[in-house]
Amino acid sequence: MSRLDATLELLSELTRWRSVAGEKDALRGLAAWLEQWMVERLDAAVVLPVAVQSHDTPPLVHVRIDNGFERTVVLYNMYDVMPADDSGWDVSPFVGGLCDWPELGRVFVGRGAENNKGPVAAMLILLCELQQQQRLDFNIEILLEGEEEVGSGTLRRYLAQQPCPIAPAEAVLFPSLCEYGGGAPRVYLGFTGLATGRLSVTGGEWGGPSSAIHASNAGWIASPAWQLVNALNAIAPAADSGVLGRLMPDEEANLLLAELTKSFSLEDELRFRRSQRLMIEGDTLSCLQTLLGSAVLTLAELHSNPTGGRGVIPYRASAELAFRIPPGFDQDAMIERARQRLTQSDLAGSELELFDSYPGIRFPRTASGVDALIASYQALDAAPQIWPWAPGCAPAYAFAAVAPAFLIGGLGHGGNAHAVNEFVTLEGLERFQQSLSLWLTGFNDPASGRVARHTRETPKTIKTGKKP
């Protein structure tokens, strides 16, 4: 079987698991399946067995491949995906399948094809090949989590243990399809922080009913739904689409952004984002500065209770939200300012509940792994764009004690993540594996030799199953 056929077979299997938030059995089942697959196919040792973990949260899959060297590289990825139903899909999202699209050719369509089951399948099949050929002069730690889409709480608590369950490593890579929209690949030297929560308003002494009442009373009884609108606008003005504050990137970041403008196209970005215009004005450099320097409040869902009550004044209204705060801001202070504003009398009835949070982080251009990632792109005739940090969020800070850099990387074209007809091109899967192979083998040290065991203590591992 070819590498591509093996990848598609594995991706098809992963796609069938409905591993979305709230589907506890599916999340736990997929975690156990992945753990056993890596034991059998990669001869991996289990560090944290799925079977012993709490049933309250999706398990963390942690295995180690000990190749007998002193050096280690960490591969991080995710097995959770966003919800989807069949509406509008060319194939059922949790079945997946091949399609021929006029502009892109042969593609695999399914939930997670791009984000991130496609890269997981391609990464694991490539590792099988590299291990069989004994081409890696280092050990590999693999961490797969089931909460990336909801804040990575279990992973962050796991890595915060003392001592850390992972010994110091050369670098951490989050293998992903980074030729976004088929454009130039990106190298991010940091990530934005994230805090998720809920803002709710309930009727009470301030006004508003204690249970739903007829909407005909709207002329003299306040609505928690409108008070929720007021509260959201007070902490993150709607006119600025939820921007909480802006800072100017520092000199080092601006030098990288100035270089980035030479290859970055606002027009291409708008097409990729399915948008017709930006809400800000300025040249490419100033727009990039504004994007990366903006702390924003994003809204995921708005609710009122009771649901479906079109003819009532609801007794409660709420918003599921997230604070997305880049490096350079004081995240705690920014959230505390929002809390204090909500305590003022004109916003009575408002309550902000935080579920989880992690800060943004950045690391230097010279950090281990960055040059290897850039070289892997250039070897395949791709000119990378280097960003001082990502406008997106990732739990990169949790790995600060493990390695000097947390990189997201890999060539390959996919798209429609979190949307209908999520896909990865077959050419993109092959290109992803080529770039990942180059990045991994770039860590090989001709002068390194095998050692009997690690010279430093590492956490105990457990092997289960038999290698076929």
- Domains of the chain in start order, with CATH, are 3-191+360-441 (3.40.630.10), 193-247+293-358 (3.30.70.360)
For the whole model, what pTM was predicted?
0.85
Q: What are phi and psi of 466, to 5 degrees?
A: -120, 145
What is the pLDDT, as a whole number, of residue 387? Answer: 96
Phi, psi at residue 217, to the nearest 5°? -85, 5
Q: Are 327 and 193 in contact (CB under 8 A)?
A: yes
Crossing angle (nearest 10°) for helices 3-15 and 426-441: 110
Sign of CA dihedral 377, 382, 388, 392: negative
pLDDT of residue 151: 82
Q: Which amino acid is at 127?
A: L
Cβ atoms of 62 and 48 within 8 Å: the answer is: yes
Stretch (H or E) spanning 351: strand 350-358
3-class state of residue 331 by DSSP: helix
Q: Are strands 61-65 and 361-362 parallel, antiparallel or unpaired?
A: unpaired
What is the model's pLDDT at position 459?
42
Q: Which amino acid is at 166?
A: I
> What is the predicted pLDDT for the residue at 273?
84
pLDDT at 130: 97
The DSSP annotation for 2-60 comes to -HHHHHHHHHHHHHTS--BTT-HHHHHHHHHHHHHHHHHHH-PEEEE-GGGS-SSSPPP
What pLDDT is stored for residue 462 in this prediction? Answer: 45
Q: Which of 36, 90, 56, 73 is nearest to 419 (CA)?
A: 90
Rounded Cα distance between 7 and 430, Å, is: 9
Q: Are 325 and 334 in contact (CB under 8 A)?
A: yes
Across 126-185, the runs of DSSP E, i.e. the strands, are 139-145, 172-175
169 closest CA partner among 143, 191, 128, 138:
138
First CA to last CA distance, the chain: 16
Alpha-carbon Rg for the chain, nearest whole angstrom, is 24
Per-residue pLDDT of the chain (468 residues; tens, 9 = 90+): 899 999 999 999 999 999 999 999 999 999 999 999 999 999 999 999 999 999 999 999 999 999 999 999 999 999 999 999 999 999 999 999 999 999 999 999 999 999 999 999 999 999 999 999 999 999 999 999 999 888 889 999 999 999 999 989 999 999 999 998 778 899 999 999 999 999 999 999 999 999 999 999 999 999 999 999 999 999 999 999 999 999 999 999 999 999 999 999 999 899 888 899 999 999 999 999 999 999 999 998 999 999 888 899 999 999 999 999 999 999 999 999 999 999 999 999 999 999 989 999 999 999 999 999 999 999 999 999 999 999 999 889 999 999 999 999 999 999 999 999 999 999 999 999 999 999 999 988 655 433 333 333 444 444 444 333
Residue type, 119: P
Contacts (Cβ under 8 Å, ≥6 apart) of 389: 188, 189, 190, 191, 192, 253, 292, 326, 327, 360, 361, 362
* Chain centre distance of CA 225: 31
CB contact set of 419 (below 8 Å; sequence gap of 6+): none
Strand duo 423-425 + 243-246: pairing: unpaired
Residue type, 206: W
Whole-angstrom distance, CA of residue 373 vs CA of residue 48 = 29
Confirm if 214 and 349 have CB atoms less than 8 A apart: no
Q: Which residue has the tokens 């004109």?
A: 346
Element (H, E) at 74: strand 72-78
Rounded CA gap, 420 and 353, in Å?
Answer: 31
C-beta neighbour count of 244 within 10 angstroms: 20
Write the DSSP symbol of residue 138. S
